[in-house]
Structure 1
Amino acid sequence: MNTHRAVSVLLAAVAATMLVTGSFGFTSVSADRGVAVNVVESEEAYVGVVACEKSNGGDNGTEPARVMVTNQFSEEFTIEDVSWDDLKDERTLQPGDSTTFNNAFADTSDGTVAIEVSGGLDATVTAQVKEKSDCPEKLQKNDRKRDKQKKQDEKDDKEKKQDEKDDKEKKQDEKNDEKKDED
């Protein structure tokens, strides 16, 4: 009975020790999960991006591009960066809103621009730069409007120079007339 009693005391001591130290259970669990990413066309994406060539070419290994970003997500998001654009202020877009960046540059190695957004949606979106002729009408209108404004500015400058020249000639004629009157 002595051995029986010794085993019982030993088991009781082990049980008491286990109760005092707690369980040897897990405090955290980690598991690998698969992620599926679906790539959709820009018309269906949360961040709609259209990038088009501009008329003038770049000479520093980049191509100038005009980039239009549209919020097609259900919440607002903020545009934090556009490829090599001199983005001074972040732009926040409400659902359905669009904005255009006129000074973005595409990497000529793959002809893409990258846009980073955060807020209701955190993502980096890359878009292929399209040829100017393949751009949506909205972006082409901007080019036509800018070209028309440039032509008007050139015409105004030419008229201003002509007016200045006419004024100078008129003053010269007046001086000549005054000289004749004095003689």
Structure 2
Amino acid sequence: MAALKVTRHHERGTWMFGASDSHPDIHWPSGFSPDQAHSFCQAQAVVHAPPATAFALLNCVTRWPEWVPGVTEVRAGPLARTFEVWFHGQRFELFLGEHVPHSRLGWSGIGAGVQLYQAWLLTPVEDGTHVVIGNVVRGPAAKSLNELSPVWTQRLNSLWLAQLKRLSESAP
């Protein structure tokens, strides 16, 4: 498996993050830039499959429980482009923010003590797709998790990417 690259900074015992760490082509919604985060992480990898394959896996949210670590249930929401996700026993309401077929996905989420924005950027490259995932997380729960386990978002992003890579590369 190809190495996953994760961007994260640490200085004097405190995790530092900023817009300079974010991929320049990711569109962060107002209020959710890396500079406004209690936790920010970005990871990237090359998936040896076309962008449409990886995009289809990400876009089919009802199948996330089959492959996304920690997701146990997904339900369509009451409005178009909304859905509910149960992640490690916590319910999150997600709202699709950006949807550009085969190249961009982004969703805002609200859960107990957490607000987040997760962005995906898929770019065709010679041997497949360069995939970037970025997470901005805010709220008291994000602050607490960062203090207890400063690498939790790094691990989560790495797991998402590893699974996306595995499934995309084994797709027919």
Q: TM-score range by the shorter chain?
A: under 0.3
Structure in which a larger fraction of residues adopt helix:
1
Structure in which a larger fraction of residues adopt strand:
2
TM-score of the superposed pair, with normalisation by structure 2: 0.26
> Bigger relative contact order, structure 1 or 2, given CA contacts below 8 A and separation 6+?
2
Bigger CA radius of gyration: 1
TM-score of the superposed pair, with normalisation by structure 1: 0.25
